[in-house]
Structure formats: C-alpha cells, structure tokens
Structure 1
Amino acid sequence: MNTVSYAKWVIKYRWFIILATFVLVFIAAAGMPRLYFSTDYRYFFSEENPELLAFEELQNIYTKNDNILFAIEPKDKNVFTPETLAVIEELTHASWQIPFSLRVDSITNFQFTEADGDDLMVGDLIKDAGSLSSEDIVRVKKIALNEPLLLNRLITEKTDITGVNVTINLPGKSITEVPSVVAFAREMADDIRTKHPDINVYLTGTTVMNNTFAEASQGDIQTLIPIMFLVILIIMVILLRSFAGTLATLLVILMSSLVAMGIAGWLNTPLTGISVIAPTIIMTLAVADSIHILVSMFNEMEAGKDKREALIESIRINMQPVFLTSFTTVIGFLSMNFSDAPPYHDLGNIVATGVVGAFIFSVLFLPAVIAVLPVRKRKPSHSGRFFDSFGEFVVRRKKELFWAMLVVIVGLTAGVSRIEINDVFVEYFDKRYTFRTDTDHVTENLTGIYQIGYSLSAGEDNGINDPEYLKNVESFSQWFKDQPGVVNVSTITDTMKRLNRSMHGDDDAYYRLPENKELAAQYLLLYEFSLPYGLDLNNQINLNKSATRFTATLEDMSTKDMLSLERRAYEWLETNFPESGFYSGSGTVIMFSHIAKRNIKSMFLGTGLALIIISLIMIFALRDVKVGLISLIPNLAPAFMAFGLWGIIFSQVGMALSVVTAMSLGIVVDDSVHFLTKYIRARREHNMSAEEAVCYSFRTVGKALWTSSVVLFAGFYVLTFSGFKLNSDMGLLTAIAIALALAADFLFLPPLLMKLERKKI
C-alpha cells in the first residue's frame, strides 16, 4: 500500500480509527495508577556502580548513616542556657519516637566519661537541663567545645547553633517509609517552633534529601505539565489559526503522554526527579509531527485543493520525513540507556515510547480527526510569501552566509575547551525547597552534610586495640583535618584518648592513646558495658573488632575538589597505612562525584552509536551518500555550539548535561530531514537546480520548521522552570541546541548544499 492509498484508507475508516484509538489509549493509560515516586537517591546508581557497592558494604558492616539532622538555633545566639538546653534534651528524647530511628546523638546525651576514684563513670553530658546552675553550664560548655566528636559536628565554637542527629534504619519494604519519617520529623520541628518561637529549627540529612527527590518530582508534574500545555495551546492558536488543527494536535500530545506513562506504569517504572519530565518532553516532541502534516495540508488548501485532497497530499509528502524524524528521535533517546544513571534510562525509554505513540497518532488518528472536523477554506498567508522571500535572500547571500555561519560554528565550538565537569549535588534543588535553604544554613553555620567514610582494617580480630594501629588511624585523622574543606573527623582514637585520660584520674596529661594493647582492650570493654541501649559503638567498630570506621564531615565541595580529596586520601593510605586494606572512601558525596564523570564517558559511546545509526538512516532514506554526509554537519554542529556557548557563559557541566548531546542529536535532525527531503524531491521530481530547490524547500516546509522549532524551544525552555537543577540545566542547553539547529538549517545548510551540489540529481 503506497502513502496515497493509505491516506484514503484512513479517511474511509476514520470513525473506526478514532474509536479504536481511544480504546487502546484507555487500556495503556490504565497502568498510570501503578506509577510511584522513588524516594531513594541510590536509584541514581546502577546495581554494578562501584561507589554504591563500597557504600553499601560500609553500611552493612557498621550502623547505617541515613539520617535526619535537626539544627536548633536560639534567636539570642546562645545554646548554653537552661531553656535552650531543655529544648534540646526534650527533642533528643522525642527523636527516639521517629519511625525507624536507630540512634540519636546530641550534646545532651553525649556519653561523657570521667573518673570517680578507681571507677569509670559514663553518662549523659547534660541531665535535667532546666535545673542547671550557671557553674554547671560553664562546665558542660567547656567539655562540649573540647570534645572532637562534638565540635563542628553538633556544636560550634560560637555556641549559637547545635544539632540533634537521628540515624534512620529504613527496612526498604514500602515507598511510604521515607515520607512518613520526614513528615513525623517536620511535625516535631513545627511543634518546637510553636512552643518556642524564640528558637529556629532547620531540617536536613540524607533522609530529608531522599524525600525532596520525590517532592521535586511531584512539583514538576504539578507545574511543568500545565505550563507546557498552555504554551503549546497559545503557540498552536497563533501559528495554525485553526480550531480543528489545534484540537487534533492537543489530543495527539495528550494521548502520546498517557500511553507512555501508562506503559511505564505497567512496567513498574519508578518516577524520579529526572524521569518525571518525560510527559513535558513528549508533549513537546509530539507537536512537531502534527505541525508538519497540518501546515502542509493548509498550504495545499491555500493552493486551491479541498480538505480531502490536501490531507492526502500532506500525508504523501510527509510520511517519510515524519517517520524518519520520529525514528531518529527514538534512537537519540534510547541511547540514554548507555548512561550510568538508571533514571536517565527511564527518561529515555518513556520518551521513546511516547514518540512512537506520537508518530502513530499523527499519521493515523490526526488525519482521521481532521477528516471529521470542519476546516475552513484557507487564503494565502503572509508567512508563505515571507519564506519565499527568505529563500531568495539565502540564495542571493549564500557565500556571505556560508562563511559567516562557519565562523560562528567554529567560534562557539571553541568554547567547549572551557568546560569542566563539576557538580554540587545539594544544589540539584533550588531554593524553593526548604531542604536546600535549611541545608545551606546548616552548612554555613553548624556543620557539613557531606561525609566520606573508610573502613580501616587492623588485620586481625581485636586488632583495633593495637597501639600501632591506633597511631596509624590517628595520623590519618590528623592528615584529614589538615585538608581544606574538612570540618570534622570522627574516629575511635578520640574515644580511646578520652578513656585513657579518665582512667588516669581525668589527668589531661594522659589525653593520648594507650600504649598497651591489653590495657586499651580493657578500657574499651569497660566503656562498651557502660553505654546505654542505642548509643553503642556499632557505628564505629565492627563485630570482631578487626576494623574501625573513619568518618570525615565536609563543607560544600565541588565534584572536582571532592575527587581530588579522595585521590589524595587514597595515596596517603597506600603510602602510610597500606595494611588498612581498602583505600577508597565511600559516601553519597563520593557516589555523586563519580557519577557525572562516569556518565559522560558512557554517553560518549551512546552518542557515537546514535550518530552512526542516524547517519546510516539519513543516507539510506535520502538515497544519496553525499547529501546524507552533508546533513551530518548541521546535525552535529548545534550540540557542539550549544556546549561551546555553555562553556563560555557557565563553564561547568554536571551529570544532566552529559546526556544532552545524544538526546538533542535525535531532535535537531528533524529540521534537516524535512528540509532535505523537500530539497531532494524538488531536485528529482521537478528537476530543479540547487538554488531553485532551496527556494522550494523554504516555500513548502519553512513555516512548519519555524513553527515546530518554536514549539520545541518553548517546550524545553519550560523545563528551566523546574526546581530540580538536572532538569532545568538540561532543558536550557537543549533549548539552546534547538535554536542553533534552526539557525544552522536555515542559514548554513542551504548555502552548503548550493556550494557542494551544483549538478542536477
């Protein structure tokens, strides 16, 4: 069946097609209730991710470090008052009621040791805070400020803010676990604010961050989709000036999104801050196919044909380019499966499904609906005359345009050399999220939320009591404290030194590591027996006492600085403490620091494969090797120019932008495909010269290219309204690439064709 026969078949069975489409869309969309929001940042990493595996190994050996951190800041800027300490004490007790809480640490329940004759006394640093005398407060303040495990972790030297850290152990059996924990913590914070208006409360921690990923997803759904729908509606009304065309297009984009999200639901695909933008992208891409079919139909009607003849002709001339553009777009998004981050796999697969649906609806459902709805007779539009004139201008100024655009392409591409890979993962969220503002405040005033951890092996059971081992741990601790950006280091050696002092009558001269292994073992055993439930040493020591946990807390650090610190620490351990075993650090910040770099490497392969496939498709479809190869230049140039412009303006790129080249490649091909198919049709069917074919292409497809590019630009620019940086950055860079692609296809591709295509085809 050729395209003309196909078009007649669609018109003949239009009512059946419309009803069957609605039924199939309903079945597919029935999977949407199965969609759920992921509340686990670990989903950003593949199961084979080495940093994730190292992190989970550390979590399995010691206490998990998923946490909620309450930061308490009295407005009088003095934590050490009976009133504020009483609030901290009350919050410490109440925090044990948080679902799945495993441990609570604060300055009030810090397990302080002191000598009582020959006995070791272990207990809360602060009890019954409301009744403390001024002398008591001076004493506990001095102790807190001299305790390495507290200073710059739960208290600062200014004593104007303090923290209560709650360790959370999530079973991982329900998607409601994280939201319920965070909701409980927020109620507690609100309760403190209500009862104590003179105290500010801030919430941060990895559990709150997990929940914010889900909130970002929900926020984008609630804001971006309505904005996108409104933008498309306005653009369609202005540019198409047709009720039937606008209604049919809106139905196509709506059904494409419903089918894609419904199938994702049937496949139990979790929604993340990244994949949740799929409907917005699908709506944007789905418009393009409909626009080309409708604009071509309107052009034929302006030329004197009735609606039926115009619709058949539009399908005839657009079936191949619409199929090609949809296919190349699908290839571009499927190449995102090469990403090292599973959420990008989901985004690529969902959008690819939506694009397939959009193609089917555009060439099947759209013509059927247009055949049913009334479409008024069209008069010749000013836009047609404009693109006639524009085509003549391009032909007349082909030399100047060629060299000017070549200079622009080379100049912008040179900016790629300024790009450096960098991410600050807390900044994935903008300041509309309280997690971001609270975290910024905590980081600036109390402590960092980034942590890097190590499991330092002693080589044998009970080996952690060996003085030589403890000295090595202490040396590593001191080295880490001297590194820029490190605010606190937590090791077992600080506890050992405190125990040694307490066992020598609290003599500060003995604040040093025990010199005898047996003595150290006795001190540690005595201390462990004295600790209350929930405050044991499982967060620092493994079960057979053959290794200890080393944790460094860091201020805001870029990916570059974090990876540099990790590398230096690896080299230090390898040189000075090789018997410690595993040299690599672990933690969420390490995982996110590596993912951007690894993502870019993996996407090089994905982009290369997509480029090869798309190039072969272009050559095969156009049946012209030379024109197919020529098309690669305007198809590749926009991504390079966009990255170059980004490098000139911003210089830094992160995980999100690593997928833009492959993704945009499939999108920007659309304009060149439509232009080149019309160009070759003019050369072959009408025996035109290269110059005449260029004018013909602008006349027949110029308006459609302009309209679809405006919609694509607007659609991806809408993503910049996202509060999730990965989406807003990706949207902005892709929008830039689309704008540059239109410029390349209008101002560079035609002069290039005229320069290289002088003979008739």
Structure 2
Amino acid sequence: MAAKSSHLQSLVSKIGITILAALLPLFVIALGRIESSTASIENWLPSGGEEQVRYAKFLKQFHTDVFVAVSWEDCRLNDGRLTDFADQLQAKVDSDPQLAIRRIITSAEVVTQMTEGPAKLSRRSTLLRLRGVFVGPDEQALAIIYLKDCTTDEQQHVVQTVIDTAMQATGLERDELRIGGNAYEAVYIDETSARSIKYFVIPSSLAAILVAYLCIRNLQLTLIVLAIASYCQVSGVAFIYFCGGQLNAILSVLPTMLFMLTVSAAIHLINYYQKAGGAQNPRASIEAIKVAWVPCILASTTTAIGFFSLMISDLKPVSDFGFFASLGLLWSTAVLFISFPALVSLLDKSPAIADTDSNPQPTAANTTGERFTQFGRFLSEQIIRHAKPICWAGALVFIVSLLGMSHLRSSVKLESMFEEKSEIIQNYEWIEKHIGPLISVEVLLHFPDDDDTDPIQRAERVWKIHQAILSVEEVGGVYSALSFLPSIPPAGGLRNTMRRTAMRETLESTIPVLVQEGVIARDASGEHWRVTAKVPAVHALDYGDLTDKVSEVVFAMAERTFPKEKKQITITGLSPVLHEAQKLLLSDLTKSFLLALTIITPIMIFALGNIREGLISMVPNVAPAVIVFGALGWLGIDLDIACVLTASVAMGIAVDDTLHFITWFARGQQRGLNLTEAIEFTFARCTKAMLQTTLICASAMLVFAPVEFIPTRKFALLMVAMLVAAIVGDLLLLPALLVSGTKRWRKLPPTEGNS
C-alpha cells in the first residue's frame, strides 16, 4: 500500500513539473512586460485620505504640481545659455505634442515680466520678491519645467529630454548640471531601484546558492535548489504583470525575498531527504515531504500572513508588497513540494550520486553532522543549567527594547533615502543653497462668488498672509499673485484713493494673466488665491513641524484680517502630504505587526494543541522585531518605508525555525525522551538546517548593503539583524522557556517520519 501511494505521489509530481515547465515561457514573457510606477511619495497615499483629497483638489484647480528645475554653476540672469536651453526645449515640445511638458519658465523671463509688464516693478524690488523662489541671493537663475498629467514612462521621457537638452544647450556634462523637482526625484528613485534589480538581484541569488552549496556539500542537490528557487523567483515576480500591478522601488527586493525564502525551505526539505537515506532510498523524497509538510506548510503560511498583514497599509507600495510577496511565497511553496520529488528522482538514477552515497568513507557532511550533534549536546546542557537566568536576561532585553520603541520616528525625507554623496542630494543642496527650497506648503485663500469684498481688499488680505509666512525662519521664499503686482497704496487721502482706483483697474485686467501664471484659480465655487511657501527638502525640520509653523502664522493673521463668516483657508502642498506619509509609516508598522501577531498566535496554539505552549512559542518570534526596532529607537535612526515591511515579515520568517524546533522537540518527547534528551535530540535534528537557512538568507540580504537606495539597504540590513536575533531566540531563549515553563508537548500531527 505504501509503495502504491509512493508511486502515485511520484506520478503527480512528474505531471506537476511538466505543467510548470510548460508555464515557464509565459512567466518569462510576463516578466518582460511589467511596467514601472512612479516613485512620487504623493502618490503613495490613499486617494480618499483627507490630505490627499485636499491636495488633489489643489492640483485640479492649479494644474499639475509636478516639475523639473535645472540650473548650473554661474547660471545668472544674464546667462544666454538659459534662454537657449528654454528655446531648444520649447522647440522639441512644439515638434512633439506627445512630450508631456505644460510650461517652461526661466528666472530671466519672470524678471522681465515683472519689470516690463503691468506691474512695472523696479529691478531691485523684483529680485527681492523672487528671492528664494526664482532667483538666488547672487542672482543665480534656473529654469522650471512643469509637466502635464502623464504616465511613468512619459515622465521618465520628459526628465531625460530635459537633461539631454540642457547638456546640448550648455555644453556641460550631466554631473555639472544641478537638477531638482519632484519629477526628477521620482525618476531618480526609479532609476536607482532599477539598478538595484539589475546589479544586485543576480549576485544576491548567487551568494545564496554558494552558501547553500557549502551547507549541502552536494552539487546536484544544489542545482535542484537553484532551479526551483530561480523558477519561483521568475514566476513570483511575473504575478505582478498578471495581476495588473506595476514595479516600484519597494518591490525591487521582492525577487531576492522569494529566492531566499524558497532556498530556505528547500534546505529544510533536503535535510529531511538526506536523513531519509538520500539517493540510496528511492522513497526518500516522498518520506522527506511526509516529515516536512507539517512544519514547512505552517511556516510558509505564517510567513505569508506576515506579508499579508502589510496589505492593511494605507501606503500603496507597502500594501502592494504585502500582496505580491504573500502570493509569491504560497506559490513558491507549492512549486517546491510539487517539483522536488520529480527532480530528485532524476538524480537518483545518476551514477555519480549513487557512487557518492554508497561510499562508506566519512564525508564532510557527516563530520559536520557529528559536530552539530556535539554542539547540540553542549548547548542543551548549558541551557538546562542556566534556563532561568537566560529567561530573565531575555525579559530585561525585551523591556529595554520596548522602551526604545517609544522613541521611534519616521521619515520620508530625501536624505533618508540617499547618501550625502549621491547625485540627487548634492543637486538639492546646491539648488537650495544658491537659489531656494524646492518643497512647498500651499496656502489657498477662497473667496466665494457671493463675496462682495473689494478686489483691493482681497489683495491686501493675501499680501498680509504672504508677509506673515515670510516671518517663518525655515521658509526660504514666498510667492503669490502679489509678487507680480505693484505695491498696494494705503487707504486715505485723495492721492491714495486715486492710486487705489488705478490699482483696482490694473488688478481686474491682470487677473486673467495671474490665472495663466497659476497663482489664481477660478471655478464654479469662486476665486482661489494661492500663496506658496518654499521649504527645504534636505536638512530641515520635520515636515509636520514646518507645516504647523506655517499654519500657525497664517491662521493668526487670518483671525485679525478676515471676517470670520467669510474666512476660508486651506493648507496643502507637498510638505503636508509628506507629513501625512510619515504619520502613516508609524501607524502602518503598528497595525501590520499587531495583525500578524493576532493571526499567527492562534495558528501556533492550534498547531501545538495548548494555549500556554503556543504563547511560549511566540516569544522568540516577537522578540526579534522588538529588539531591532528598540535598538533603532535608542540609536535615533529614523524609520522609512522599507522598515515598515520588516517587522511583520521578520515575525513570519522567525516562525519558520520555531516550528521546526518545536516539531522535533515534541517528537522527541513522544518517543519517551526526558527534557534534556528531547532538547539534545532537537538540536541534533534541526539546528544544522536552522543555522544553514539563516546563513543563506543573511548572505542573500547582505549583498544589498552597498545599494544606493537607502530604504532597500536598510531593509536588507534589518532583515539580517532580525534573522540573527531570531536564530538566537530559537536556539537560546526558546529552549530555556521550554525548560522553565513546559512539562510536556503533547499534540502534534503524526507523520511517518517520527520513528
């Protein structure tokens, strides 16, 4: 009966691998058709969020706020290259209607408009009004290119066209140009994430395979692992295309994540396969699956739940990562169990394998196994002897780490994504030092249609808000409709009355021009005047603090200036949007971790058949995230979007080793072993595979340490730290807890591998 069952399982595996092989071309084609999405942080927020609704309404009224800023050393107002650049770029727009550029503005053009237009401002007054926005303190100038609503590919094309045209017009190289703006920022992030995939994914996979080979010491089995993991990597990422998703900077770690998790599970399966006799036993692969399916399926499920918990995030890149990672992991587990018996059966017929396995001489693997047995015996003796001190030390570290977590801060600022020496940080620092800040806080003053306020009084109120914002120290520049108008004459006296009448006529005739300039908008609800405060993108206060400071002076002035029944002011812009994203990072970290904990804990209790034992088993799974994030809090390291991914994912991965450890511990006790013997038995059976999987996963992640995009690098390093913390918890804290708090582990699904 057993032979018949084994033959049926082998047949199913061969049919399954045939189907998987037939699907491979589809996955490869899908992989090449995956589109990229923009990395603009304003697009991360949910469309129905309060801040996003305000910002979307602002964009609808004043058109897109996506732009590229270009300057260079010694680019002054009288630099003819600036005009040449603008003219050449405009010629390309005229000849290519598909080029998604809405408007091109240069500092010299704005100065000319203000000095020679209706305002007739003096040059000195003009430069003062434009300082920190269009002109630097030493008359440093720039060009600003505003984009239309466009796709990611179109945005990349515009930014590249802008850079190429600037190089042609100025004769400068790219590293001599100073480029900024949210369109450039999004494209730069996309480029760095693409480089991460191009230059680091394959080396990361090779590192994992190399370590796997050193652990397995068998080339043929290593090739099986490589084949399965590579297939899962390609097919798992291809699901992005089939599900209508888009690749983004956060998903750049998905290929490596799927590869290393597949390799990790395969290592456990191979260890069971070798213990079942390997190539000398034709049924070894089937027996290995019978032994492994309980811990492996539970581990895969809990890890997938860790990924799945990220889907509750309000930040789209995080929720996308959670969905595709959980889907890819479950698919990879199915592929592993389907393909492993069929692939191993091919190698079972290999003379090289047979000769190797029939060789009675001691092998490196056998020697390593004996060393792990000796290590397990020594470590179990020490843990049993010092169980309570280990538990108390673990509790102390846990409490200190919890206190550290209270100091956690989040950031989506540019300098938290790139190093000081990177092109984008150097560009932003130069622009903000020599011209002005690039991030904006937008203050919108709304005047309903039924508002009968005199136009001059409207302008006066806007000007007072304008001046109030200038008083905020961190604000580098302010511009509004009043930047383009003559100074408003004071009220009183015949001469001033005549001047105000002339000013009213000028204002009424100029409003269409101001609408075109994007500082006033008109719609069915009324008239909207825009006051833009420019705040730094790098080396500045928290975005929330900046927004609060601007809001404070605006509303304080409004209380003194606007009639309360007619006061309508909205604060929006990139700075408030970025602040909202920062707040969501911390809330998402907490929500996803608690959700994963809430789902995984009952699974552990059910699998072990005891509430107390299930709760004990969760301690080493929660501890790694708490310890690592507690350390971040104490060290003052800000959380970024990649950090949000690690907590729930690390808990899911940590459960993998915990399940294998507890599985063998329970089986040892089922054999009648006492506590000491059961722990020694457990160390001998699974410590090797646990350490191997940790080494493999860590080696795959460490390859990303030099990557340019800091969130990807931080994700990799945090994963390594949590993997190390998890293995320490499973091999030190968990046995100590078992000794201190558990008498007998009673329930475990029986398998044929228990004997």
TM value normalised by structure 2: 0.87
Q: Which of residues 622, 640, 644 is equivalent to 1:654? A: 640
Match of 1:577 in 2: 558
| 1:447 aligned residue (436, 450, 474) | 436
- Where does 1:41-440 land on structure 2 (aligned, <5 Å)? 41=40, 42-74=42-74, 79=76, 85-97=79-91, 98=93, 99-110=99-110, 112=112, 121-122=117-118, 142=124, 144-146=126-128, 148=129, 150-159=130-139, 161-170=140-149, 172=150, 174-194=151-171, 200-301=176-277, 306-373=280-347, 374=350, 375=353, 376-377=356-357, 379=363, 381-398=366-383, 399=386, 400-425=389-414, 427-430=416-419, 434-440=423-429
CA contact (8 A) 2:30 2:242 kept: yes
1:563 to 538, 544, 557: 544
Paired amino acid for 1:350: F
SS at match of 2:477: strand
Aligned to 2:19: 20
Of the candidates 537, 561, 578, which is equivalent to residue 517 of structure 2? Answer: 537
Q: What CA deviation, in whole Å up to 9, does each residue of 1:603-624 have, x standing for no partner?
A: 4333222212111111111223
Which of 720, 734, 738 aligns to 1:749? It is: 734
Distance 1:114 1:576, change over 3 A: closer
Counterpart for residue 750 of structure 2: none
**Number of equivalences:** 714
Contact preservation (8 Å) 1:110, 1:124: no
Cα displacement (A) at 1:51: 2.1
Pick closer, same or farther for the CA change 1:536–1:315 going to 2, 3 Å.
closer
Residue 145 of structure 1 aligns to which amino acid in structure 2? L
- Say if 1:79 and 1:85, in contact at 8 Å, map to a contact too: yes
Partner AA of 1:286 in structure 2: T
Gaps of 5+ in 2: 94-98, 747-755
Q: Which residue of 2 aligns with 1:128?
A: none
* 49-58 or 104-113, larger mean C-alpha shift: 104-113
Q: Contact (CA 8 Å) 1:103, 1:535: kept in 2 or not?
A: no
Contact preservation (8 Å) 1:315, 1:363: yes
- 1:354/1:35 Cα in 2 relative to 1: closer, same or farther (>3 Å)? same
Provide the alpha-carbon RMSD of the alignment: 3.2
Displacement of 1:520 in angstroms is 3.9
Report what 1:709 is aligned to. Answer: 694
CA distance in 1, matches of 2:498, 2:337: 82
Distance 2:69 2:258 in 1: 39
1:505 aligns with none
CA 315–550 in structure 1, closer or farther in 2 if over 3 Å, else same: same
- Equivalent residue letter for 2:732: L
Structure 2 contact 608–745 (Cα < 8 Å) conserved: no
Q: Distance in 2 between matches of 1:230 and 1:712?
A: 12
Q: Distance in 2 between matches of 1:557 and 1:722?
A: 20
Q: Aligned residue for 1:134?
A: none
Q: Which residue of 2 aligns with 1:667?
A: 653
1:694 corresponding residue in structure 2: 679
Displacement of 1:721: 3.4
- 2:508 aligns with one of 507, 525, 542: 525
**Once structures 1 and 2 are overlaid, which stretch shifts more, 594-603 or 675-684?**
594-603
Deviations 1:81-130 (A, max 9, x none): xxx52222222333434433333322321255789xxxx854999xxxxx
Counterpart CA distance in 2 for 1:752 and 1:182 is 58
1:181 Cα deviation (Å)? 0.7
Contact 2:108 2:141 in 1 (8 A): no
Q: 1:659 Cα shift?
A: 3.2
Partner SS state of residue 552, structure 1: strand
Q: For residue 36 of structure 2, what is the aligned residue in structure 1?
A: 37
- Say whether the 8 Å CA contact 1:92–1:109 is kept in structure 2: no
- 1:577-606 alpha-carbon deviations (Å, 9 max, x no partner): 265755452223322221131232244333
* Counterpart Cα distance in 2 of 1:43 and 1:345: 13
Aligned AA (1:548): W
2:307 maps to amino acid: F
Tell me, yes or no, if the aligned pair for 2:436 and 2:534 is still in contact at 8 Å. yes
Contact 1:467 / 1:514 at 8 angstroms: preserved in 2? Answer: no
Matched position secondary structure for 2:516: coil
Q: Note closer, same or farther for the CA distance 1:514–1:6 as it changes in structure 2 (3 Å cut).
A: farther
Instruction: State the shift of 1:460 in Å.
Output: 3.6
Q: Please, which moves more after superposition, 590-599 or 4-13?
A: 4-13
Write the distance in 1 (CA, Å) between the matches of 2:722 and 2:539.
26
Measured in 2, the distance between the counterparts of 1:547 and 1:515 equals 27
Larger mean Cα displacement after TM superposition, 456-465 or 174-183: 456-465
**Aligned-residue offset at 1:361:** 2.0
Which residue type is aligned with residue 331 of structure 1? I
1:453-464 → structure 2 map (5 Å cutoff): 453-460=442-449
The structure-2 alpha-carbon separation of the partners of 1:21 and 1:745, relative to structure 1 and needing over 3 Å to count, comes to same
Contact persistence 1:105–1:164 (CA under 8 A): yes
Structure 2: how far apart are the matches of 1:515 and 1:626?
87
Shift in Å, 1:214:
2.4
Shift in Å, 1:310: 3.4
Contact 2:31 2:237 in 1 (8 A): yes
Amino acid at match of 1:312: I
Match of 2:751 in 1: none
1:739 paired with 2:737, answer no
Which residue matches 1:553? 534
Aligned residues of 2:658 and 2:730 also touching (Cα < 8 A): yes
> 1:433 offset after TM fit, Å?
5.6
Kept after mapping to 2: 8 A contact 1:413/1:645: no
Q: Partner residue of 1:721? A: 706
Find the residue that maps to 1:165 and give its secondary structure. strand
Which stretches in structure 1 are left out of the alignment for 5+ residues?
126-138, 502-509
TM-score after normalising by structure 1? 0.86
What amino acid is the match of 2:646? V
Of 257-266 and 519-528, deviating more is 519-528
One-letter code of the match for 2:132? N
CA distance in structure 2 between the aligned counterparts of 1:692 and 1:702, rounded to whole angstroms: 15
Change in Cα spacing, 1:548 to 1:517, as seen in structure 2 (3 Å) is farther
* Aligned-residue offset at 1:722: 3.1
Deviation at 1:565, TM superposition (A): 2.7
Aligned partners of 1:223, 1:381: CA distance in 2, in Å? 37
Aligned-pair identity (%): 18
